[in-house]
Amino acid sequence: MAGVRVEMAVECDPHAVATYRRNHTDTEVVAKDIAQVKSVSAGSVRDTRILFGGPPCQGFSCSNRRTRNSENEKNWLFREFARLASSWKPDWILLENVKGLVETEGGIFLEAVLLKLEELGYTTSWWVLDASEFGVPQRRNRLFIIGSKDGVVIPKPQGTHHAVITVNQAITDLPSLDNGSEYDFLPYRAVRPSAYANSMRGDLKGCGNHYVTRNAPQVLRRYQHVPQGGNWEDIPAKLMRNYKDRERCHTGIYHRLYPHDCSVVIGNYRKNMLIHPVQDRGLSVREAARLQSFPDDYVFQGSIGFQQQQVGNAVPPLLAKAVFAAILDAAGQ
């Protein structure tokens, strides 16, 4: 989207590998743990070379108290990233993570990343950006750390959208579905699509990945009690008896999307029981992908659970586009 040619991608999850290969046929995909990768493609010396990625973020998530600390080995995987940067010496380095990395253990991880990049000779910039300010129909804060080999400090990108894209604008043209739907392809609904929906559709007449988790009857009964914008607190206590301590549920559990605002974070939306704004069911993979700003021709691979995980883990493409545009602008591209 931003004009960057991705020559090589490293991914250890086989389902994400299948999805990436399906959608990025010109990219070499290395299906390995990054610790097993000894070198990366060099590219032309005339190219502006960017090393980018997102080390595991679960250890920094605000909803993860158990491993949100310095003892979690996966929280230090950015060192493998730094190792590749040291050998390849790209012009730019881009690291993405959740906002929680700034806050975890008093900011030691952020400080460690910045110090390591500076030791490698990179001038650093970092910002937390809200995806909803860049045309994504979702409030999603993400941290971006930039390293410049040429000493460039990049100012924080300014939002491109003053008015949010709403849930209605994002998904109303997608087909109505039932609990447990499994459709590889369906035509769009016969409604006038929003400008945002049109941008996701392109020239397509329909799209795929219309997979919805099949929830149990008692879960569907809970959905019926939740109004738009509501959550688990609207569900009668007698329907929540299987929860050991119902009061410990966070506000994102059993949240029904409000159609006239942008979405809450699309994380593990199956586990959180995120509810469609007007239908008593969970979100489909395609609806969640729309709320992440994935174009409809982007096809997800694997079983429904793995597809949901890929969508929830992703950086919204329109947000990524804005970040890369800032880098290319600073590079004079």
Residues annotated as catalytic (active site), given as ranges: 57
Give the DSSP H or E segment for 312: helix 304-313
What is d(CA 313, CA 182) in angstroms, rounded to the nearest whole number? 22
Burial of 239 (0-12, 13-18, 19+ CB in 10 A): middle
Closest CA to 1 of 105, 153, 134: 134
**Which residues have a Cβ under 8 Å from the Cβ of 54 and sit 6 or more positions away?**
95, 96, 97, 315
Tell me the C-alpha to C-alpha distance, in Å, between residue 249 and each of 23, 229, 244, 272, 277.
37, 16, 10, 10, 20
Rounded Cα distance between 279 and 232, Å, is 16
Q: Are 142 and 97 in contact (CB under 8 A)?
A: yes
SS3 187: strand
Q: In what order do the strands lie in the sheet with 92-98?
A: 50-53, 92-98, 141-148, 123-130
